Amino acid sequence: MVSFNFHQTKIHLTELGDATMQDSKSYTGVLKRNKLAEPKIIYEMNQVHGKNVIDLKEDIVYPSKLPACDGLITDRRNTALMIKTADCLPIIMTSEAKPVIAALHAGWKGLSAGIHLGGISKLDSLWNLLPKQIFVYIGPSIQSCCYVFEDKPTQAGDVKWQPYISRKKDGWHIDLPGFAKAGLISAGVPAGHITDSGECTCHESNTYFSYVRHKNTQSPMGLCATVVQLR
């Protein structure tokens, strides 16, 4: 597990050696093994590769069951938000202006639907945070070096995606983080406010689980967790 501070947040990233993160119980087990404090509550998502972002203050009352969504927002202390990924982008948003965090799960379907822009919009509409006040962390995810298709991908027909798709000798490469960052910048988030880990979940075979690597090589399949809470 890797832990670090990002502005007002504490972020934990689990790795392949921590075993697969099927649910919050798996994650709390890692915390106990590392002798780290557990948050009072960990919110998970029923991730469906969509664009629904739920604000825990406005849209749901604890401890109601979460509906299908790919984004959560909270201002609650000692409350963690959990994203599970095996190549998709874990995106964290926060601000120095107000104590609030957003956690988004973003694959190509979610990015096409605008999940990352939905997070910005909800922080604006519900928290009066301007895009220029928001800081974004993009965690380990599949990079263009490994996100390769033999056949022309569906996204190639979408003008928004075309700058982030390149054809090389080994196939069509798609740059998911590049697409996400460009959308955030276009929405008004300063480029200097975006931190991209740049790590490739598929390439880093000793560190992260990867669905694409599993599909191509039959390597172990599992889920990594990105968990964030206010400090």
Sorted by where each begins, the domain ranges of the chain are 2-230
Q: What is the pLDDT of residue 153?
A: 93
Looking at residue 200, the DSSP 8-state letter turns out to be B
Q: What is the tens place of the pLDDT at every residue in 16-55?
A: 999 999 888 899 999 999 888 889 889 999 999 999 999 9
Q: Looking at domain 2-230, which CATH architecture does it have?
A: 4-Layer Sandwich (3.60)
Q: Which of 186, 3, 174 is nearest to 89 (CA)?
A: 174
In this prediction, residues 116-145 reach a mean pLDDT of 97
Rounded-to-integer distance, Cα 101 and Cα 119, Å: 10
Q: How far out from the chain centre does Cα 201 lie? A: 13
Number of H helices, E strands in the chain: 5, 14
Q: Which of 120, 131, 149 is nearest to 215 (CA)?
A: 149
Q: What is the pLDDT of residue 215?
A: 92
Write out the H or E segment, with its range, that includes residue 173: strand 171-174
Q: What is the pLDDT of residue 95?
A: 98
Q: Which of 187, 215, 204, 230 is nearest to 15 (CA)?
A: 204
Asked if residue 62 has pLDDT above 90, the reply is no
Q: For the CA atoms of 186, 139, 86, 20, what is the dihedral angle to 10 degrees?
A: -150
Q: What is the pLDDT of residue 169?
A: 92
Reported as a pLDDT band with limits 50, 70 and 90, residue 59 is low
DSSP string, 11-54: EEE--GGG----SHHHHHHHHHHTT-PPPSEEE--B--SS--EE
Please give the single-letter amino acid code of residue 19: A
Rounded-to-integer distance, Cα 176 and Cα 33, Å: 33
Q: How far out from the chain centre does Cα 181 lie? A: 12
